Structures are given as structure tokens and as C-alpha cells.
Amino acid sequence: MSDIFISYKREDEVRVARLVQALQKVGLDPWWDRGLPGGENWRENIQSALSKAKVVIVAWTNESVGPAGDFVRDEAAQAKARGALIPVLLENVRPPLGFGEVQAINLARWNGAAGDPDFKDLAAAVRAKLEGREAPPARGPSTRLFRRVFYGGVLSALGAGAIAFGMNALSMQDQVCRVSFGQPAISDACGTLGLGNAPTREERIAWAGREAGSCDALRAHVERYPNGAYRSQAADLVAAARSHRAEAFSPAPRQAQGYVRQSEAAFATEALAQADARTRAQADAETTLCTPRDEFERLAGAQVTPGRFDCRQSSRGGYVCSVDYTALCNIETRPIVERCS
């Protein structure tokens, strides 16, 4: 079985297949569940492959970070716990809570080529983990920046002095873009041309206006500007984030499906038996189905909606009913709060 495991959502199979093919082209042999033998217990097979893999590539997309991506998040958590996780973004999404501090390789604009700078970063990170080494610094973003600088300089040749500016060393561009006078207009112009690692005017304003201390605001900024000037700074702030439990409880409702059996006591009418089943469903929801999961949760009540009743005449006379039901659990929780100062 392969040392490389790919975790993904079934809806993303086409893009993941392209990723698998590119990895194979560079001599890497990933395992993914499309190759499972027929008739085997697929979940056990996946868990076995996941547990044995030295590298777990997790594909974050709108599907896998959404409510239906539980399996992907679970597999990512297992990989993260043992230091095997390499996340990739196949779409410009924000990784789920708890995974933002692990720097993801952005393949949202990847065209499938094995020579792509960001894909090369992925291949290098995989090989490093397989060999027990630290992953080398990502070169994809800087390579793309250099290309923008070069082509931006050439295309702006019609502007006065743009050719000479574009041909300067990157350090010189950085100095020019950050001179103390004429700001922020000069920096904004550099950002528009993709020079000196300066932000565009739009990104500069967005960065200055983000919510102070909010890790989600930093992730949102990187999602909006994946190759922006503040990407590294945002990643450093998220990596240094501190977490604590909120002092106040806040609503965190959840739905659950329940069932109560027919009672031992029989009732004179079917309507009375159904009323008894509803009462027992309410008690079952409040004492069992909606029970808080830990000391940081509390139950503020439950709303029960009966589904299908199964009512029968009892051998002892009268009626007994069972019922399927849906419960809206009014849970309140003290969530984990991140602070990125």
C-alpha cells in the first residue's frame, strides 16, 4: 500500500484525478479510494490506508470544507495529529477551524502541469515528509511574483522609465516602492504593476480595514488575495494565534433524529397513545438525544417534531404507539476563540 494518501470529497474526483496523474508523472505513487477492490469493506480499507500513510494530502474545496465534508475533516485531523498532513487548496476556500495554521499549497489556479511552481512545491513537500525532512520553503509564490514583475515591466514600457524600473533587481524595486514620500500612491502603483511585493490599493485598504485580532479576518484576506503582499504576514499571525474558551455561552443549535418505542401502558384511544408518544419523545430528546457533549455546552430546551407514528392495538386492550421524530436541540456553548494579535 502507498505511503501517500489523498483525502478528498467525492464531488471533487475529477480534479483529484488530475492531481493523482501529475504526482505519478513525477515519480510519486499516491493512494486514493477510487482504486478500492470491489466487495471489500470500503471504510475499513480507507482507515487502514490512512493509518499507514506517511503523507496525507488533503484537498480543501467548497465541498470538503462544507457540512458534508465530515470524513475529509476527520481524516485531516488524524493526519495532523501525527504530523503527516499536507493540505492543498483546489479552490480558494478557507480551511476549516483548526487547520488554518497549517500552510496550504494553493492549486486553485493550477492547470494540471507538473512543471507548475506551486505543484513543484507540493511534490517537494511530499518527498521531504517521506524522507523525514522539513519541507523546503515554498517557491511557487515568489516564482509567480518574479514572472509578474518581469512581464509587468515589459508591458509598461510605454510609461516613462518603466523599462529601466522593470529591469532593476527586486531589492531595488522594493526600495523604490517603499520610499517615504509620495505614499501611498507610489506603493499602489507598484502593486498594480506587480512590482516590489507591494499590495494593490484594494488589498492595502482591505488589510487596514480588517477586524483587529480576528484570525478569521486574516484567513478571509488570504482567501481573497491568495498571492497578495500580506500573505506571509497573515500566515505568521495565524500560526502564532492563541486560543481560549469564551466566557459567555452562545447559541449553537443542532438537529438530530430520534425514535421512541411503543409504551408498555395502553390507552383507550389512538389519539391518547400518540399524545403519550409525543411526550416520551420530548423527554427522550431532552435527556438523551440532545445531551450536551461536554462541560462547555448546556441545553436550553428542545423542540420535537413528530414524524411517522406506528400505532397498534395492544393484546392487553387499548392502543400503543411508537414514533420517529426530529429534535431541534437548543444547545448553547462556550466556543474556542482564537486571537491573532
CATH among 3.20.20.110, 3.40.50.10140, 3.90.190.20, 3.40.50.150 for 4-130: 3.40.50.10140
**Res. 232 pLDDT band, cuts 50 70 90:** confident
Q: What pLDDT was estimated at residue 157?
A: 40
Tell me: the pLDDT tens digits for 273-289? 999 999 999 999 999 99
List the chain domain ranges: 4-130, 140-244, 250-336
Q: Give the 3-state DSSP-derived string for 222-234, with helices as H, strands as E and coil as C.
A: HHHCCCCCCHHHH
pLDDT at position 141, please? 59
pLDDT in tens, 282-324: 999 999 999 998 999 999 999 999 999 999 999 888 999 999 9
pLDDT in tens, 165-222: 444 445 566 677 877 777 888 888 888 888 877 889 999 999 999 988 888 888 889 8
Q: What is the rounded CA–CA span in Å between residue 251 and residue 249?
A: 7
Sign of torsion over alpha carbons 10, 16, 18, 24: negative
Angle subtended by helix axes 117-130 and 13-25, to nearest 10: 70
Q: Which residue has the cell 492531481?
A: 19
* Predicted pLDDT of residue 161: 45
Diameter over CA atoms, the chain = 100
Helix (H) or strand (E) holding 320: strand 319-333
Q: What does the pLDDT read at residue 216? A: 86
For the entire predicted model, the pTM comes to 0.44
Q: Say if CB 105 and CB 77 are below 8 A apart.
A: no
Q: Is residue 160 pLDDT above 50, yes or no?
A: no
Higher pLDDT, 269 or 340: 269
